[in-house]
Structure 1
Amino acid sequence: MNLLSLLSLSAISAIAWAETHVFDWNITWVTANPDGMQPRPVIGINNEWPLPLLNFTKGDRIIANVRNQLGNESTSVHFHGFFQNGTNEMDGPPGVTQCNIPPNETMVYNFTLDQSGTYWYHSHTKGQYPDGWRQALVIHDEEDPYIGKYYEERVITLSDWYHDEMPGLLKEFINVANPTGAEPVPKSALMNDTQNLTVPVEPGKTYLFRVVNIGAFASQYFWIEDHDMQIVEVDGVWTEPATASMIYIASAQRYSVLVTMKNETNANYAMVGSMDTDLFDTLPSDLNYNSTGWLVYDSSVEKPAAKSVSEFDFYDDFELVPYDGLERYGDADITVTLDLTMDNLGDGANYAFFNGISYVAPKVPILYSTLTTGSAATDAAIYGTDTNAFVLNKGDIVDIVLNNDDTGKHPFHLHGHNFQVIWRSGDYEGHFNPDNVTFSSVPVRRDTLIAKPMGNFVVRFKADNPGIWLFHCHIEWHMDAGLAAVMVEAPLYLQENLTIPQNHYDVCSASGTPTEGNAAGNTEDFYDLTGENKAVAPLPAGFTARGIVALVFSCVAAFVGLASIVCCLPFHSEQWDAKITARKPDQIGMDAHFAHNPGIRPVAETLGDA
């Protein structure tokens, strides 16, 4: 039998074993209390939460019918880490590859899984996934290099948890009363969306733990007491084994580790996820920054409290080596340099910027502009003033040079690709200097990387996946504050080879979103951006964050003074009763309704695109 026949039989066999998984997902409100401290509305699927952990095999097909039953919010879903090669329209970010799904509408996501490893899925509509719309996802492959080296798998999710819902928190965050941009601090750390997790294990066995940070903000340190871990995968890329006693895992990152159990069964051992509190501007007294689970060898033996650690000595992911030994790509054909800053705009609120631009989603999703603007699609200008769009040619070797001019850590994620991490500086080393570095020869590949405080990194990828791919900070607060850019990869190829399904156009129509023309929806002159979505205007000359703080406190003092005067005046209950009566009758009924239905939100401003 010749080689071609063998290959054909192999392909037929793979198709025969592949399954099609059809999901009917009603996105609904559910009441939950995962940290045991406060019940609150969360976003569930089919009235259930936590969301289902999904398991697939490489080659399977997903058909997810996503129906928005949230009542007052749009929604979407992104399958994080999937390349979506040939199905860019299924990637998920509204304003980039699709329109938001309005209430009572359904969007169909239909694509094939051509990868393996550890991933997750989450809403990509502004500020939504921290309200519970997220969960882990695993794709298995019989050809994975560590098959046969472990007894069973366990999935561990780490997350931060807020007691208040995101719409209110976002309004407080992007607000003149918060001119320094202090991010809301979560209330608790969770492990598998609970606390006090127990994981039964058998002595002497080796397990594969897939650890996923599905949180909104906090990176977490993770360790298992008295057990070493062998790192074998990051972000869907298998690695050579690397021994670690602790890992540091930022929002959206994934690690798979092999852990061999002890032979004795006379003790159980703590697993700890500890939030990196250096990310927080304040440390509230009620902050529960650790989550603890246990490897349970014997359920009749006590589960000991986690031991304190003197330092966080975690493995440096820059030292990892990909299992396939792929060497660094050749020199870059194009370099995209992004300088990260945080600053105030004219409304007094604090925003995030790349190269002085705070991302704002265009009126027409960028993919739709690409498909309807002819040869002009190769010009980044048509995609909007504030979209940070960069056009790449098919096959280009691309470097992204990121200079972090902020004192915080930032995890950056690239859709549609993983990238080679060819350089990353230490803390406070300033901007990238190509004359003073040595690039890694066999660099680790991943899809989410941490930028060090006041440091820099360089990642390299091959533009071999035509599409519109978002590059953004995966701290949700910073994404919502504008810390994003867009790679427009091979736009003319997309025009010839990609067709958006009618269902997606129907969703756009239902949401009132235009699907033709430039960023402003102009179909006559693609360079006329009149009416486009724009960032808030800059501050007037001379204003600073310190000045805004002083102004805010002056206003607060003035209001306090006025309140004290009012309090001294006689109070007339008749006037107060008249004010209540003057409210709209339907509003009074709504207040009572929502007071007795905590799983449903009052009508509020629909959040914009991601």
Structure 2
Amino acid sequence: MKSFTALGASLLGLIATPVAGIALPNGLMTPNIKDIFSRGLENRQAASSPACVNGPTSRNCWSSGFDANTNNYQSWPNTGRTVVYDLSITNTTCNPDGHGARTCLLINNKLPGPVLTANWGDIMRITIRNKMQHNGTSIHWHGLRQLNSNIQDGVNGITECALAPGDVKTYQFRLTEYGTTWYHSHFSGQYGDGVIGSIQINGPATANYDLDLGPYVLQDWYYITAFQAGARAFNFGLGGAPPTGDNILINGTNKNPQGGGAYNRVTLTPGKKHRLRIINAAIDASLRVSLDGHPFQVIANDLVPTVPYTTNYLQVGIGQRYDVIITANQTAGNYWFRADPEGLCQSANSGLGRAIFTYSGKPVADPATNALAGPPTACSNPASTPKVSLSVPSAPFASSAQNLPVAFGPVAANNNLVLWTVNGTSMIIDPGKPTIQYVAEGNTSYPRSYNLVEVSAAAPWTYWVIQQAAGAPPIAHPIHLHGHDMYLLGTGSGTFSSANTGSLKFTNPPRRDVAFLPAGGWLVIAYPTDNPGAWLMHCHIAFHVSMGLSVQFLEKKNQITLPAPGSEWYKTCRNWNNYQASRPVYPQDDSGLKKRWPPVTGGLGVEI
């Protein structure tokens, strides 16, 4: 097994100069710098043509040998640069929509947290300082592949220990993909209380545009804390449903249903094409997104560049991202941007997400515009076409596809707590003993509650049929896979059977890291087994993850890059376990994972 050593990190710091800003894309290549961090795993394309210069009329270009046609699962630039950020998480209060202040957990005292900006191929180094009083934490870099850097994935209980109050941790990884994503706490209900931020990785694009408006973060908001809302979700007497959210925030603001607060405002330049990077960072609400009078040209979903297509509406599941181009070719004035709970995906909220897009030179006022025609009629994954065409072997599917049933129910032996299960198990992990520690110790006695599935090291692809079990509430689940993009072979209603195999798409199917499992239906995915690690797959409705709707895939465990003895990774574990031992144990939900004390046992005929 391989270890990322402190020496390697130190040498890397000597050859990659920290930067405060982001340079233009041309001239990024530094061919004489040895890439220590990726240990030779980067495959650089040969520069067979002169460097193209990325600009308003040539967004497909990036740098010599790299453009929108590059297969970034295999090739990425070596920029020789490290981008450094320092983030502090604190207990505070906030009042984002004017309803009234409540307890918040914020990054650098911002909601959402700072935008982390870098270029394709850069190394990103982020120091996290846990200044919260009574909360551990871990920060997940959503959608980033973390190729051969599984221990940087930021999932306490799986890839690392939780970061104790007062402790400091540094993450470091190479950006092998480009586009729009976000970062968030993967500990309990924290991200619903504000521990979120966006990531913008500059790179080529599949259509031209003039201006980049940057990330646009959408989130649901509760006037109680996410911890309080989560506690209600566990209560079978309330139907196992969380309380309805109170509002939708857009880049950290909105008017509340009573009229206080303020709308987010965006300026459009007449005649120009604007790139907008839409992120759904909610904990419970999938959103229907549109801009009055202006269709979206979609150029990427999640971190996958797509063949451009035009739509009036987007259904944005929790955790999903869409990069869109908006052409300012309408009558100059004010237009509503809408982000409403998508009832077709069983989402609800008492507020309506609204922002005002104003043409430059016009006074800002509440718009009098109407929504576009042609709203969605079902909750579904769009049939997007990836720009880089990649296909999935179809021959092994029939013999190697495995089932992952998703079920739901109360546990009578534990005061009727409500749980979700995947493959018969409701995941419970220990933030002080992650899966990677078991791997490092050569200990294969993984607790059943870790819901661990070993992926065959011999098979180049793995296939999964995710099926909602009969009797489970008919809810659309946004399923997120860590460490990989999912190849979406197909989806449908009812129960999957061999009769559905003919409808599956193996030739350049849609790819993304979050996809809807339809209410009462099935989702078939595949991915290549090319990234050693312990990778979580879970529903991104935070309450469902806390209630157990997770599974982890252990992939090529003998090739995982493990933490070096005596490294910060082990110090973080010691500090967390010392912190836990010195304080009373509280009931605690973990968003994406969870820790319940005492452990829940019995009921449903499964170990939980």
Report the TM-score range of the alignment, normalised by the length of the smaller protein.
Answer: 0.7 to 0.9
Match of 1:184 in 2: 243
Maintained 8 Å contact 2:312/2:375: no
Match of 2:232 in 1: 172
Secondary structure at 1:169 match in 2: helix
Alignment partner of 1:510 is 2:579: no
Quote the offset at 1:110 in angstroms: 1.3
Q: Would the alpha carbon gap of residues 27 and 413 (structure 1) be closer, same or farther in structure 2, given more than 3 Å must change?
A: same
Maintained 8 Å contact 2:419/2:426: yes
Q: Would the alpha carbon gap of residues 81 and 533 (structure 1) be closer, same or farther in structure 2, given more than 3 Å must change?
A: farther
Quote the offset at 1:6 in angstroms: 6.0
Counterpart pick for 1:155 among 205, 215, 220: 215
Letter in 1 for 2:476: K
Q: Where does structure 2 lack aligned partners over 5 or more consecutive residues?
A: 1-42, 52-62, 67-75, 255-262, 580-596
Q: Would the alpha carbon gap of residues 54 and 536 (structure 1) be closer, same or farther in structure 2, given more than 3 Å must change?
A: same
Counterpart pick for 1:452 among 493, 518, 528: 518
1:324-335 → structure 2 map (5 Å cutoff): 324-330=388-394, 331-332=396-397, 334-335=400-401
Q: Deviations over 1:115-150 (max 9, x none)?
A: 101110000001110000012211112x4433x444
Alignment partner of 1:225 is 2:285: no
Secondary structure at 2:151 match in 1: helix
Counterpart pick for 1:212 among 279, 296, 301: 279
Letter in 1 for 2:240: G
Secondary structure at 1:167 match in 2: helix
Counterpart pick for 1:463 among 526, 529, 537: 529
Compute the RMSD of aligned alpha carbons: 3.0
Q: Would the alpha carbon gap of residues 401 and 533 (structure 1) be closer, same or farther in structure 2, given more than 3 Å must change?
A: farther
Secondary structure at 1:59 match in 2: coil
Match of 1:126 in 2: 188
Letter in 1 for 2:571: D
Alignment partner of 1:99 is 2:161: yes
Maintained 8 Å contact 1:43/1:49: no
Secondary structure at 1:209 match in 2: strand
Quote the offset at 1:167 in angstroms: 2.3
Alignment partner of 1:299 is 2:331: no
Match of 1:31 in 2: 93
Match of 1:488 in 2: 554
Maintained 8 Å contact 1:318/1:421: no
Mapped partners of 1:279, 1:327: distance in 2: 29
Mapped partners of 1:512, 1:400: distance in 2: 36
Match of 1:388 in 2: 451
Mapped partners of 1:5, 1:199: distance in 2: 38
Counterpart pick for 1:79 among 117, 120, 141: 141
Q: Deviations over 1:79-98 (max 9, x none)?
A: 00011111111101111000
Quote the offset at 1:305 in angstroms: 4.3
Counterpart pick for 1:364 among 405, 408, 433: 433
Higher strand share: 2
Q: Would the alpha carbon gap of residues 422 and 318 (structure 1) be closer, same or farther in structure 2, given more than 3 Å must change?
A: farther
Secondary structure at 1:153 match in 2: strand
Q: Would the alpha carbon gap of residues 109 and 53 (structure 1) be closer, same or farther in structure 2, given more than 3 Å must change?
A: same
1:183-582 → structure 2 map (5 Å cutoff): 183-195=242-254, 196-262=263-329, 264-265=331-332, 267-277=333-343, 287-300=350-363, 302-305=365-368, 307=370, 312-313=375-376, 317-330=381-394, 331-332=396-397, 334-345=400-411, 346-347=413-414, 348-362=416-430, 364-373=433-442, 377=444, 382-394=445-457, 396-405=460-469, 406=472, 407-425=474-492, 428-435=493-500, 437-440=502-505, 441-494=507-560, 499=564, 502-512=567-577, 534-538=599-603
Secondary structure at 1:386 match in 2: helix
Number of residue pairs aligned between Structure 1 and Structure 2? 506
Mapped partners of 1:291, 1:25: distance in 2: 29
Quote the offset at 1:187 in angstroms: 0.3
Mapped partners of 1:459, 1:176: distance in 2: 31
Mapped partners of 1:41, 1:513: distance in 2: 27
Q: Would the alpha carbon gap of residues 368 and 409 (structure 1) be closer, same or farther in structure 2, given more than 3 Å must change?
A: same
TM-score by length of 2: 0.77
463-472 vs 339-348, which moves further:
339-348
Pair member with larger Rg: 1
Q: Where does structure 1 lack aligned partners over 5 or more consecutive residues?
A: 515-531, 542-610
Q: Would the alpha carbon gap of residues 19 and 30 (structure 1) be closer, same or farther in structure 2, given more than 3 Å must change?
A: farther
- Aligned residues: percent identity? 25
Mapped partners of 1:4, 1:232: distance in 2: 24
Letter in 1 for 2:429: A
Q: Deviations over 1:248-284 (max 9, x none)?
A: 001000011112111642x221111011245669x78
Quote the offset at 1:308 in angstroms: 5.8
Match of 1:522 in 2: none
